Structure 1
């Protein structure tokens, strides 16, 4: 899914990360900083949590030795779009209902709870999972 042409991109940030646990932390911190610098500090925590969950999934389920994962943040007048791409596209993610004892399996449920829109896009190599947050005061927010 792409942002509609009538909603031009104001800011965009793309960073490639080595698939290691510290990269998830770095991606989360970077996302929070960028969103706040772009003038939306109220969305920084939600954006950081979404990046953390999606980057963690890229590390856990999308890791291919020698390949990076990418985090892309896109800001328009109405939307903050967060996308994480990884090189493994054989299995597309879907939310599941883990047992109460499970220590994993809630990432997409968290993303779905925070973002009014999210989805998966197959790429030539791998996949991209994206989520969109409405900016405060945007038409979708009213």
Structure 2
């Protein structure tokens, strides 16, 4: 994203299961506060899936997982960074009986685009983005409102 940030948030989480719902809840709250309540559920679910993947496949003892959200006038982006660069995520085919393996399929279905790249320092960052059309609901002026 080349537009200037309107909002940015980042928080590091310990690689434990309780961090997943904490990140999901924080993400939903921020997306609503930033004026995009219609995206809050999808973005929170994507963060939950990416956090779970980072926890299961990208975590190392004593190393944190970072969640970063950014908002520009054109896009909302989430990034989940972990210390395991050698474990690059890729969607896999699953059958009806498979209990796991659908996380990245969900990410691909909910986000407009997603990808993976190197993390600053050590590790990788998995990101997802949503393009924004129009203005946030709280930025729409009221008809007949006086200044």
TM-score by length of 1: 0.91
Report the Cα offset of residue 101 of structure 1.
1.1
Pairs aligned (count): 134
Alignment of 1:1-142 (within 5 A): 3-4=1-2, 7-123=3-119, 124-137=121-134
Query: 1:136 Cα deviation (Å)?
Result: 3.5
Deviation at 1:137, TM superposition (A): 2.5
Following TM superposition, by how much is the alpha carbon of 1:8 offset from its aligned partner in structure 2, in angstroms? 1.2
Instruction: Give the Cα separation in 2 of the matches to 1:64 and 1:137.
Output: 41
**Larger gyration radius, structure 1 or structure 2:** 2
| Separation in structure 1 between the aligned mates of residue 122 and residue 99 of structure 2, nearest angstrom | 29
SS at match of 1:133: strand
Q: Distance in 2 between matches of 1:130 and 1:35?
A: 16
For residues 72 and 86 of structure 1, the distance between their equivalents in structure 2, rounded to whole angstroms, comes to 12
Q: Distance in 2 between matches of 1:48 and 1:137?
A: 21
- 5+ residue gaps, structure 1, are none
Long gaps (5+) in structure 2: 136-147
C-alpha distance in structure 2 between counterparts of 1:136 and 1:114, whole Å:
16
Runs of 4+ residues over 6 Å off in structure 1: none
* TM-score (norm. length: structure 2): 0.88
